[in-house]
Amino acid sequence: MASEKDTSPSGANSLWGGRFEAGPAEIMEKINASIDFDKILYGQDIQGSKAHCQMLIKQEIISAEDGEKILVGLDQVKEEIEAGNFTYDTALEDIHMHVESRLTEIIGDAAGRLHTARSRNDQVATDFKLWVRDASDQMDQALCGLQNALVTKAEQNAHVILPGFTHLQSAQPITFGHHLLAYFEMFTRDRDRLRDARERLNECPLGAAALAGTSFPIDRFQTAKSLNFRAPTANSLDSVSDRDFALEFLSVASICATHVSRLAEEIVIWSSAQFNFINLSDKFTTGSSIMPQKRNPDAAELCRAKAGRIIGALTSLLIVMKGLPLAYSKDMQEDKEATFDAANAFALCIAAMTGMVGDMTVNERAMKASTQNGFITATDLADWLVRVLGMPFRNAHHVTGSLVALAEKKGCDLDGLTLDEMQTVEAKITQDVFSVLTVESSVASRISFGGTAPEQVLAQVKAAKSRIK
């Protein structure tokens, strides 16, 4: 078990050394302690400590006998924490002191040799980097699952037609598969950003000590390799004061959460009675306490809201870091809690969104019916005037606008106008124009690379599957 609060006459924390004669005031103890949230780092802390110990042994900075005691003791500490047989005490401030204190109880004075040639400054930077690296890998895996769900649903709906919107106004007909693949592209870029950030963070701070390095003959390259880092960090000052890796992680999470939020907003809209494009099952909806007919898309709404929480974590850490001189300042203790919270919120959002994409059923008839509003094939008409009659596009745009106005007055869509009516605006229009005024012909014609034509969507699905791999 971890030691109880120091009851020595001075009340001082023995791990602080002899510099302080009196113990901290209660409020100082509370504001200074981070154990309530950084205990999540126990695995990374013990992993880093073992790598450091092994390096100390190899460099003959500590004896093999003491080193072996330390390694065995660290394993025991980890087992106690994972078994729930570990006592936490705010007097010990953080996870580093808790591990060292308990190690001392287990193996005695040899535990004190573990902190040779390191500081809590490089120790916490290493622990936090290891955690962010692990979280990045988990995030990447979760996004892969979401991409697979989107691609599967897109393939199933490659021929389903619905309105494409700009300004939330009907613009042109598209396929639902094409719409879903737009989000696949967003999450692909998110994964690219994540892997790029992971590569950049993959340098080991351990051995930078407090800020200036150490006089002991350590081998930082061995430590870095042992922890699967690409290399040790190059500057000891930067090593202990860098939190770019956390900022980049939160930045990627914020951008990705924004993409999740946009998809969540569309799910909310699509599942409304006014649109009725999709249905979600009871797994991802809730009822109303007073209105029995309601099926509320709460999971989507919460995904939409949690984007603010994640973006807030990024903003918070940016503000913490913006005015700090080199090297370490206690302000940086505020780096972890918001990052942990954001990572948890993000993981929940991705899992919920993956579930909703797989769960949604598509109302093809409602989607198709919605294309009858808003003169959605007007662009196809303008393109026909250019392609068949040889009009400059600006002239074709003007003619099409006049035909839309005529249809509005008549109360019909463009294909509801007669040929004679169309020829009152442009005499050269022929019966062939009606071949481009159906939504089916419109989407089928969009065969440019990345377009919405079903054949293009299926080609994009095939490419997407290989890109996920």
β-strands 361-362, 278-279: how paired? antiparallel
Angle at 181 between CA 175 and CA 187, to 5 degrees: 160
**Residue 29 corresponds to which amino acid?**
E
Each as own residue / partner, the long-range contacts of residues 403-411 (CB below 8 Å, 24 or more positions apart, any chain) are 403/378, 404/375, 404/378, 407/375
End-to-end CA distance of the chain: 46
Is it true that the peptide bond before 158 is cis, omega within 30 degrees of 0?
Answer: no
110 vs 438: CA distance, rounded Å: 82
Rounded Cα distance between 27 and 155, Å, is 59
Sign, CA torsion 266/282/305/358: negative
What CA–CA distance (Å, rounded) separates 151 from 184?
7
Is 241 one of the annotated active-site residues of the chain?
A: no
Indicate if 159 belongs to the active site.
Answer: no
Catalytic residue of the set 167, 215, 448, 466:
167
CB atoms closer than 10 angstroms to residue 449 = 7
Strands 203-204 and 169-175: unpaired
Helices (H), 287-435: 298-321, 335-359, 364-370, 378-389, 393-410, 419-423
> For the packed helices 176-201 and 120-156, what is the interaxial angle rounded to 10 degrees?
160
Give the integer Cα–Cα distance in Å for 231 and 171: 52
Catalytic residue among 10, 14, 281, 288: 288
Active site positions, annotated: 167, 288
